[in-house]
């Protein structure tokens, strides 16, 4: 059974601090890894699509890395702001299936 694990489940970070969290996924039959941000009462929003081992992507203060050989991806947020409060989901894609993790719930403290 394929499984995608995200850690931590929940995270409280002081405004202005930087943070990171992890997505672990199967290292076989890898096709792509997606990161999404899901704010309360909104739809999930795509952050990154990562496909190559060693990929690093950046969008503003948010960046992500990918290691397909060992099956993990990190998401980094630099200088957290209140608008970063959301659930961050990763999704593994392989064999015409997509498997989401349960997400990391990020709370930014003023």
Least Cβ distance, residue 104 to other proteins (angstroms): 11
Question: Which residue in the set 44, 62, 67, 76 belongs to the binding site for other proteins (CB under 8 A)?
Answer: 44
Q: How far is CA 42 from the centre of its chain?
A: 17
* 11 binding other proteins? (CB under 8 A): no
Burial state string for 1-36 with b = 16 or more CB within 10 A and e = fewer than 16: eeebebeeeebebeeeeebebebbbbeeebebbbbb
Judged by CB under 8 A, the chain residues 71 through 90 that form the site for other proteins are 89
* 40 binding other proteins? (CB under 8 A): no
- Closer to other proteins by Cβ: residue 13 or 49: 49
Least Cβ distance, residue 38 to other proteins (angstroms): 9
Bridge partners for 24 per DSSP: 5, 72
């Amino acid at each position: 059974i394929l499984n995608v694990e995200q850690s931590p489940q929940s995270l409280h970070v002081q405004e202005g601090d930087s943070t990171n969290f992890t997505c672990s996924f199967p290292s076989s039959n890898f096709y792509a890894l997606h990161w999404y941000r899901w704010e309360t009462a909104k739809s999930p929003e795509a952050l990154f699509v990562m496909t190559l081992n060693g990929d690093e992507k950046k969008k503003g203060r948010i960046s992500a890395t990918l290691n397909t050989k060992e099956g993990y991806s990190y998401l980094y947020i630099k200088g957290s702001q209140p608008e970063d409060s959301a659930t961050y989901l990763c999704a593994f894609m392989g064999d015409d299936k997509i498997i989401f993790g349960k997400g990391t719930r990020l709370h930014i403290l003023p």
